[in-house]
Amino acid sequence: MTTGSAGWVEEALRAHDEAQQQEQAGQDHPGQDHPGQDHPGQEQRPERKGSPQPRPGTVREELVLDRIDRARRARPRVKEERITMSHGAGGKATQTLIEAIFLDAFRNPLLEPLEDAARLQVNGTGIALTTDSYVVSPLFFPGGDIGDLAVNGTVNDLAVSGATPLSLSAAFILEEGFPITDLTRIVASMQAAAQRAGVAIVTGDTKVVERGKADGCYINTAGVGVVQGDVALGVATARPGDAILVSGPIGDHGVTIMLARGELDIEADIESDTAPLNGLVADLLGQVGGVRALRDATRGGVATILNEIARAAGVGILVTEDAIPVRPEVRGASELLGIDPMYVACEGRLVAVVDGQEADRALGALRAHPLGEQAAIIGRVTAEPPGIVQLKTAFGGTRIVDMLVGDPLPRIC
Amino acid sequence: MCLGIPGEVIEFLPDQPDLARVNVSGVKRVINIGLLADDPPQPGEWVLIHVGFALSKIDEDEAAAALSFLEGIGQAYEDELAALQDSRIE
Amino acid sequence: MRFVDEFRDADKAHALSAKITALCEPGRQYKIMEVCGGHTHTIYKHGLEDYLPEQITLVHGPGCPVCVIPMGRVDDAMALAAEPDVIMTSFGDMMRVPGSNGSFFDAKARGTDIRMVYSPLDSLKIARSNPGKRVIFMAIGFETTAPSTAVTVLRAAAENLDNFSIFCNHVTIVPAIKAILDSPDLRLDGFLGPGHVSTVIGCRPYEFIARDYGKPVVVAGFEPLDILQSIYMLMQQLAEGRAEVENQYARVVPWNGNAVALKAIGETMELRPYFEWRGLGFISHSALKVREKYAKFDAELLYSVPGVRVADPKACQCGEVLKGVLKPWECKVFGTACTPETPIGTCMVSPEGACAAYYNYGRLTRTRVKEASTS
């Protein structure tokens, strides 16, 4: 459903009516299977043991929530006619686009896990393959530039898949008129980042497009790494009792970029956290068993990853606001702009799901590494409610952390 | 329409009487203080910031009063809890 | 963070919660309306309802100035944005509000020059740096934001800018509150007054609520402890049989408001005879327009806007949600036709709209939440 086309309201209402009819039919014929629904019609909700009688209104409330849950589980479809910025934000729209358009067309077992890298078997060796494009604006910002992002981002996708990164490709799309000195700067950053990460850029490509396209410089990379032994990381393996850790303060990169765009007239001592995490990951995997999954928290932020874990594994997640490290300046800028650091991109932070018994050891392993000094255990995986991420606020109340809808636009309200 | 954030005034901008630089948790922004022309804030004072304007000064005495009320309630609560703990009827 | 963290202390919250519960008469239900969208947001963001006894229900009123803009006015804004050589500038909140043919966001995807700004002054800056373009600022908000728009217009006048104008959709809170008080389907015990609006208009404008309707009002701040303390003060009034206006947010809100701000509004704007509020219908003297003296900054005069009234879709129950008669999940289309991705009514669009806030933050019933957080 898209609001972009004329008559979208009527279409939404028509879809609503259809859904109502299906529900009504399910009610009249309990037990009949309906496509797209997980359970037929409405059931009398059985009273939970020990819970008080539902208050008037809560039965209806639960029905509505069930309906929402079912809609969430329904097959994704892209109803927009055109791409919008939401499709690139890393949230719901991106996910739907990937599943409905790309996965649908390319479907194969290697693609389906939709993890950060694909895992292939080549002559008995596990190989990880990943690709990324970098379109950041501005190209140069406090803490790094597009070149740093390109190398570190690709290395990180390989690292969190449990692979030792080996080689990268780098394809450049350059805008007519782009200063060569800027290109030289970017390339120097890439080489320095590659050396730091212990990888080599072994092949590449160059294209030039007319003035007005490519915003100066776009970089696309692919990365190849070797999967060590029998490492089998994946978000779907998370289970109740697991601990969730982050390797450091969140939101640094995204806020840096927002401020660097210069439109918001805010000065702050914040810089991007772009960094190669392969050393940190190697330490973690080397010292701690029971690591279920690793993700680097890029577009969409930590909140998006938590939702991906909850959805993939069918588990609940409960994180504690107080435990999540956020730099005071990032918090200040976020408050000023009305954005939530949980949804803001990082470029050098990982989220780890670890067997609960190993949580403290994992924390120790992360903290022993320079890039993980401020690592923290931020929460646990729970059995209920499945697919839902909750946050225990600093204040003690609880709320849901939903998937991102659109870009985290600064609010004034 | 309510996102107002407290910030500390650091300095005025030399050639722009209506503008001041404020600090919010280490983040600095230039804002317009023209709405406080009747009683302009001085460096070190705190203001409420909304869409790039200072709407009001934060009165430290009132803030202290509010906090001490809350402390009082908090203390009374803790006292009650302690009393409850001590008075077990068994 | 100063003046923020101190008012987010969880221990004090338990204390307040206990005191609030102690003031509840056994068997009595209390309905308190929080008028301000920012309050709704804080309540959900911090999970404040977990701290309130079941006897107290918080009702979300029409305090979201984005929520109350009717579709026809959004269509007008879209028409303005589509004018040749126009750069439309807008707060982030407005970007996803859908009109009949989409939102600013959708128009941007189609190539219209729409830019998000944090302050109306940013919009002025864009006008100065783009002399060949005509910049329009989408002015929304209650009396909190109107002074900022006003000062911006005065600056534009002082600089003699000829490529800047505003599309004025500022609304005033008191007539909306009155419309709610006069509504027969409502039974409220008290109000949490809008904290930041009050920094501009002061506390006096709410005196009629206590005097003529016998309902207590506490002007409340936006940190979680502010809200809990305000509810406590309301409950005290109710327990003591008082109906007064009290100011919990005294550290920021002056009783008499901000004279300079009011003067700026008065100089540049005047009340419209009436204005349509989504879900509430036409309310007299409830919105502002640019004064004739500043006509060259009034987009409604400089351009021709369609001005077509678009009725709310029949299924939309935003009106009842705005009035506090329905909770979000009680609306027939909540979660089905109307979701954050496809917001039929703007209660779902703005993050502080009652429905969006509930969808994003407060979906689970209290029992389920308590189970989860103790597991």
Give per-residue pLDDT as tens, B31-71.
999 999 999 999 999 999 998 999 999 988 888 887 788 77
Tell whether domain B5-86 is in CATH 2.60.40.10. Answer: no
Q: What percent of chain A has pLDDT over 70?
A: 84
pLDDT of residue A47: 33
Average predicted confidence (pLDDT) for chain A: 84
Query: Looking at chain A, which residue has its C-alpha nearest residue C314?
Result: A13
Question: Which residues of chain B neighbour A413 with C-beta distances below 8 Å?
Answer: 1-3
pLDDT of residue C361: 58
Q: Is C34 within 8 Å of C220 (Cβ atoms)?
A: yes
Tell if the CB–CB gap between C147 and B35 is shorter than 8 Å.
Answer: yes
> What is the pLDDT averaged over residues B15-44?
90
Residue A292 pLDDT > 60: yes
* Least trusted range by pLDDT, from A43-57, A235-249, C98-112, C205-219: A43-57
**DSSP label of C102:** B
pLDDT of residue C375: 33
Of the candidates C351, C357, C360, C339, the one whose C-alpha atom is nearest the C-alpha of residue A388 is C360
Given CB atoms, is A161 within the 8 Å cutoff of chain C?
no
Of the candidates C94, C75, C30, C102, the one whose C-alpha atom is nearest the C-alpha of residue C352 is C94
CB-closest option in B24, B30, B50 to A335: B24
Taking one residue from B and the other from C, the number of pairs with CB-CB distance under 8 angstroms is 142
Residue A50 banded pLDDT, cuts 50, 70, 90: very low
Give per-residue pLDDT as tens, A256-285.
998 887 666 788 889 999 999 999 999 999
In a 3-state reduction of DSSP, which class is residue B58?
coil
Q: How far apart are CA B42 and CA B21, in angstroms?
A: 11
CB-closest option in A264, A267, A412 to B3: A412
Assigned token pair, C175:
């007539």
Tell if the CB–CB gap between B35 and C264 is shorter than 8 Å.
Answer: yes
Residue B22 banded pLDDT, cuts 50, 70, 90: very high
* Chosen from A264, A330, A334, A335 to mutate, greatest number of chain B CBs within 10 A: A335
Give per-residue pLDDT as tens, A87-131.
887 777 888 899 889 998 999 999 888 888 999 989 989 999 999
CB-closest option in C8, C44, C64 to A394: C8
Question: Which residues of chain A neighbour B25 with C-beta distances below 8 Å?
Answer: 328-329, 331-333, 335
The one-letter code for the residue type at B82 is A
- Give Cβ neighbours of residue A170 (< 8 Å, ≥ 6 apart): A150, A190, A201, A203, A204, A205, A219, A220, A221
- Give Cβ neighbours of residue A360 (< 8 Å, ≥ 6 apart): A377
**H or E stretch at A9:** helix A8-28
* Chosen from C60, C364, C367 to mutate, greatest number of chain A CBs within 10 A: C364
DSSP H helical segments within A220-349, as ranges? 252-260, 278-287, 301-313, 328-337
Tell if the CB–CB gap between A335 and B25 is shorter than 8 Å.
Answer: yes
> What is the pLDDT averaged over residues A148-167?
95
Chain B interface residues (partner C, CB cutoff 8 A)? 1-6, 8, 24-25, 32, 34-38, 46, 48, 50-53, 55-56, 58-60, 62-63, 65-67, 69-71, 73-74, 76-78, 80
Assigned token pair, C367:
């029992």
Tell if the CB–CB gap between C261 and B55 is shorter than 8 Å.
Answer: yes
**Better-predicted residue by pLDDT, A253 or B78:** A253
In a 3-state reduction of DSSP, which class is residue C8?
helix
The domain locations on chain B are 5-86
Assigned token pair, C185:
């389907």
Question: Which residues of chain C neighbour A383 with C-beta distances below 8 Å?
Answer: 375
Given CB atoms, is A316 within the 8 Å cutoff of chain C?
yes
**Interface ipTM:** 0.86
Assigned token pair, C177:
């509150």
CB-closest option in A269, A332, A413 to B24: A332
The count of other CB atoms within 10 Å of the CB of residue C106 is 25
CB-closest option in A337, A385, A393 to C368: A385
Assigned token pair, A160:
């969190």
C352 phi, psi to nearest 5 deg: -100, 0
Residue A45 pLDDT > 60: no
Tell if the CB–CB gap between B29 and A336 is shorter than 8 Å.
Answer: yes
Q: What percent of chain A has pLDDT over 90?
A: 54
Tell if the CB–CB gap between C375 and A384 is shorter than 8 Å.
Answer: yes
> What is the pLDDT averaged over residues A149-160?
96
State the nearest Cα–Cα gap between A271 and chain B, in angstroms: 12
pLDDT of residue A268: 85
Tell if the CB–CB gap between B27 and A266 is shorter than 8 Å.
Answer: yes
Residue A8 pLDDT > 80: no
**Better-predicted residue by pLDDT, A195 or C333:** A195
> What is the pLDDT averaged over residues A184-210?
96
Tell if the CB–CB gap between C372 and A8 is shorter than 8 Å.
Answer: no
Q: How far apart are CA C280 and CA C251, in angstroms?
A: 33
The count of other CB atoms within 10 Å of the CB of residue A229 is 8
**H or E stretch at C12:** helix C10-22
pLDDT of residue A93: 82
Tell if the CB–CB gap between B26 and A265 is shorter than 8 Å.
Answer: no
Tell if the CB–CB gap between B51 and C119 is shorter than 8 Å.
Answer: yes
A5 torsion bin: left (phi>0), alpha (psi -120 to 50), beta (else): beta
In a 3-state reduction of DSSP, which class is residue A140?
strand
Chain A interface residues (partner B, CB cutoff 8 A)? 264-270, 328-329, 331-333, 335-336, 338, 411-413
The stretches in chain C having pLDDT less than 50 are 365-375
Half-sphere exposure of A292 (CA within 13 A, CB side): 23
pLDDT of residue C355: 83
Q: How far apart are CA A56 and CA C371, in angstroms?
A: 19
pLDDT of residue B2: 56
Give per-residue pLDDT as tens, A293-351.
999 998 889 999 999 999 999 999 999 999 999 999 998 888 877 788 999 999 999 99
